[in-house]
Amino acid sequence: MNPRDTSRPHVWRPANDAASARTLLLLHGSGANEHDLLPLGKALDPNANLLSPRGLVRMDGADRFFMRYDDGRFDEAGIIKAVSELADFVWAASGEYGFDPDRVWAVGFSNGANASGALLLLHPDTVCGIAAFGTTKSFLKTPFRGARPNLIGKRVWIANGATDDYSPSSRTEAMIEEFTQLGAEVELMVHPGGHLIAKDHIQQIARNLP
């Protein structure tokens, strides 16, 4: 198994016209797998291709894209590695399955939401934008490779819970500021609950996906 090609465990659900449809890259949360967010993808766009890879880091019996330490810090080197592998996987999959690599949107929850944000920051040519549910800022200081990316034209939806300890408001504000300074159009949505995906947020994003 190579994490950078389509031998990586994943699910591919093509649209009726895969070549012209939008593709949603579905990135699951810790303890889930490549099947977990398929219903979310369908709810966001029933006419999209769905491409859902499995996170390849295993911790305490759970699959994830990168580790989070007991003190709450993220394995930042692991995030960099994970999103580099995801970027290569998307390009390889576009060649194998024939979808348009310029019409890919990353959709993630929790650990996968962090991965989607890091993918946009470090490999911006891979995705048009992200829908990040239950997310927070991944890097204390984002390790840009060379020049800072130009994210003008990219869309970012951040969909968090007001009582979610995983997504403290101070880090959410810092994340929004970073994306905005880089030129992305950012929309924050907050539901009154905790670490979960709200139906209202799904519907709002679905109505506004370009």
Catalytic residues: 110, 164, 195
Q: 168 phi and psi, to 5 degrees?
A: -60, 140
Q: Whose structure tokens read 């303890």?
A: 31
**Element housing 96 (H / E):** helix 76-97
Running DSSP on this structure, what letter comes out for residue 36? T
Alpha helices for the chain (secondary structure H): 38-44, 76-97, 111-122, 169-181, 199-208
> How far apart are the C-alpha atoms of 161 and 128, rounded to whole Å?
24
Do the beta carbons of residue 132 and residue 49 sit within 8 Å? no
Do the beta carbons of residue 82 and residue 8 sit within 8 Å? no
